[in-house]
Amino acid sequence: MMKDPYVYEGTNVLKNKLDIKDEATLEKAESDFVGLAANRLRHSDFVIENIQDGLKIHKFLFSNLYDWAGSPRSIDIFKGESLLDGRSIDYVYASYIDKALKDLNKEFKEVDWDELDSKEKIEKICYFVTEFWHIHPFREGNTRTSAMLLYFLIKKANLHVNIDFLSKNGKYFRNALALNSLYSNSKPEYIIGIVTDSVTLKNISSKKYETIEGFEVNKYSYSNHTIEKIKTIEKPSDWHK
C-alpha cells in the first residue's frame, strides 16, 4: 500500500512545523493558528482576482503549521462521509487539480458581476465555492479555505455576509458542500439557502440548520482523509480522464 507522505509514519498526524505528534494537540493548535490567521485575512486588503487565489488563502491560513500550505496535494484522497453512509465524495485526482482549477477560473473570468442581481450573485458564488471544494486542492484545510473564498467572493460581489453566523453553522455548511458535490445528484439548495441567510439574515429559526437531509449536523465529527480507496460516489466525471 502506498504510504501517505504527509503524515508521520504509523500515525494519522500530519507532519507539521511544530513537530506535534499527538492528533488532539495538533487539532487544537491548528484551530488556534487558523482562527487568528482568518481574522487577520478578513481585515486585510486581500481581494479575489481569480480562483487560483484560493491557493493564496490556504497559504495564509496554514503556513505557520505546514510546509505545503498553499500547494496542491500530490496524492489522491478519500474520506468517508457520515451524511452519505460512509461513502466518499469523488474528489479530483491529484494529477488533474491544476487543470481543474484553470478550467474553473476560465468560467469565473466570464462572469460580469455587475450584470447580476443579488440572488444570481449568490447562486454563482455557491457554484464556484462548491466546485473549488469539490476539487479539494489540499491535503487538509479545504473547507476552511472554501469558507474564506466564499467570504471574499461575497465581498467582491458587493454583498455583505455575517461570518459569525456561517461559523456557528460550520458543520451544516460543510455538509451542504458535500451534498452539492454529487454530480447529477447534486443538491445546491442547501448551500444556496445557508449563504442566502448569511447575507440577508431574515427570520432564521434556531432549528433550521440542525439537520440536513434528515441528518443531525451535530453528529458530524471530523475524520481524517485517507489515501486508501473507500466506496465513492459512482458517477462519471471528466476530472478522472
The tens digit of pLDDT for each residue in 14-50 reads 999 999 999 999 999 999 999 999 999 999 999 999 9
Average pLDDT rounded to a whole number, residues 172-187:
94
More reliable by pLDDT, 98 or 82:
98
DSSP state of 11: S
Task: Give 186-221 as a 3 state SS string.
Answer: CCCHHHHHHHHHHHHCCCCCCCCCCEECCEEHHHCC
Give bridge partners of residue 88 from the DSSP assignment. 80, 232
Please tell me the pTM assigned to this model: 0.94
Average pLDDT rounded to a whole number, residues 139-152:
97
Of the chain, the percentage scoring pLDDT greater than 70 comes to: 95
The backbone torsions φ and ψ at residue 24, rounded to the nearest 5 degrees and listed phi first, read: -65, -40
Confidence of residue 1 (pLDDT cuts 50, 70, 90): low
Q: Which residues of 164-189 are buried (b: 16+ CB within 10 A; e: fewer)?
A: ebbeebebbbbbbbbbbbbeeebeee
Residues 84 and 150: their CA atoms lie apart, in Å, by 24
* Domains along the chain with CATH numbers: 77-240 (1.10.3290.10)
Quick check: 22 and 13 in contact, CB under 8 A?
yes
pLDDT of residue 241: 34
DSSP for 29-81? HHHHHHHHHHHHHHTS-----STTHHHHHHHHHHTTT-TTTTS--SS--B-B-
Confidence of residue 203 (pLDDT cuts 50, 70, 90): low
pLDDT of residue 224: 85
Average pLDDT rounded to a whole number, residues 178-186:
93
